[in-house]
Structure 1
Amino acid sequence: MINQVYRLVSPRQFEISYKDRSIQSDRVIVRPTNLSICAADQRYYTGTRGEEALSKKLPMALIHEAIGEIVYDPDGEFQPGTKVVMVPNTPIEQDEIVAENYLRSSKFRSSGYDGFMQDYVFLKRDRFVVLPENVNQHVAAFTELITIAMHSITRFERLAHSRRKTFAVWGDGNLGYITSLILKKKFQGCKVISCGKTQYKLDNFSFVDEVYNINEIPENVTFDHAFECVGGIGSQYAINQIIDHISPEGSISILGVSEYPVEINTRMVLEKGITLIGSSRSGYHDFKNTVDFLSENPDVVDYLETLIGSVNEIRCIQDVINAFEKDLSTSWGKTVMEWKI
């Protein structure tokens, strides 16, 4: 069969390419239905990723946050119409120590490898997770972003000490919101503090215990552990502010991505015995844990609906461009594309 792939060929310019794929294989064929735009996709779309990276990775289909419906399973295990969330990380080897999302050999969709902007996606059986029938599809579209927070919390549980009464999260964006929400739900009775710089965004954090503007944090505020969800050059200030307030031997989980090196007050990291935990992307087990978590906690899904910034019907390439341009001017929430092209 001929599969149409919608690739970014240069900033703000998409073209259709055609790939001949055989259905006589072990791959499950999935038709994307709902896609979500990520900041990383925007860096490619706008050309701010850097000329060297663009020259190496384009042309490329964007989007790594998506759900779809199974249209064909050669083994008959899954019925057509079954809703699934697709896993963008694609490992080509296994390691008994290193997780699939940290293996340097793994491929990642929409990062040098075609993403989900295609008519059909051909997946191995460990590259998707079946969704509950009554799932909010617009929330499910950005499941991958939720798995980022879930993965970081899983790593925290394995690496940090056991005093877990108070958490702080720096960042008032989508990832900060999701991380704060999961922490509050997973650690029953814990105190969660959210810190950010934009008041109208912080107003959405109604489920946490305390909210602070980063310029107005009292000196006596302390916590056992923290999660940095800021990214960019702002992560430098966030991490150093966390170091000032965190209790000795606490852990700082770093999730924010920065294009450039940032300076950290290592003297106080040493004096306080702080553990820094880096987290990036996620794998199949994180998707499975996230889908199970959302199935067991429907109230969390209700809160996540707050992150639906806009929903855009896609029937042609111009609709894709319009959605990306709208996303650039959206200051809160996720831009979802209903894939009807």
Structure 2
Amino acid sequence: MTREPSLTDIADATAQLDELAATVRRIVNQAWSVGHTRALLDSPAPAFDENLWATLVGMGWPDVLVAESAGGGGGSIRELCVLTEATGTVAAPVPLAAAAAAHWCEQRGGDDIAVLLDDIGATMSEGRVDGHWPLVPYGAVTDRLVILADRHGEPVLGTVDATGGGVKRQTERPLDHSPAANITLDGAPLCDIATGADAVARHRDAVARARLATVAELIGTASAAHEAAVAYAKMRVTFGRPIGARQAIKHRLVEQRSVIEVARALVHRAADALELRHPDAESLVSLAVFWAIDTLRGVPEGATQVFGGIAYTWEHDAHVHLRRAATLVTILGTRAQHRSVVADWLQSR
């Protein structure tokens, strides 16, 4: 019989996660900064840093969800969200959420970049797969694609070598200049992982994990933008008073902090549901995603307004957070899609 967690258990787990978050943020701040990301925006090359990715791989972050027996960290989705939130605070140009979900789906670790593709009707015949994905984040630098395809009515979960035959990649340039790609598979060899209901369930669960970790990354981006705006509001003086003392600015900043904390609570709740395989897990993930798309993405925009004209200069960090937030939102799906899931879930309760 499974024992329900006590208040002591919850408090201990929360304290451990808080300690992990503080440690991870120190590590990230030593390895990267928003200024580094801004410098990449000046380069004609996509905004991706191989050395930073190698550092994260060396610490085992992309494999945090993989079981220890398979060479991973054996961690929880909450721990992954702590990691992605930390990378979000410095707008780190790495595919941590996507790679971690893909590695979990494959149930094996690795130092390469794997990307989990959405289920958009890929078809398979004689061991080869066809399909088209118009915008794959980090698709231009990925080594492997994890795909759910249809083989004569049977779902098949498998991997495709992104550098092999039958794979066509056309580089795209999203707002944050990350190495996205338009990917077409034309008879690409597929290596099976799972089939049938197990393939569908594993892919859906992995997609949910990727989306939730992306929301956590957006929380990090929003938090960094908000903290910078608060600091600026305290030191920027007009007409003899800090602008943070003015009611309009004060209310904006308080509202933005509330939005961030609600988002973090929704992520924690959905993460716990995923770990417990609760029947409401997918709906709770959509609730967190809907909040991120509908409200959380506005925090970097509001922070930019607090800075005023200085935020629109190329040398300022505000636009880096704004770009990253806008790009992350596009990864999460449409607002209408998640609103529909949440509405159906609420009506059924």
Q: TM-score, normalised by structure 1?
A: 0.27
Higher relative contact order (CA 8 A, sep 6+): 1
Report the structure, 1 or 2, having the larger helix content: 2
Report the structure, 1 or 2, having the larger strand content: 1
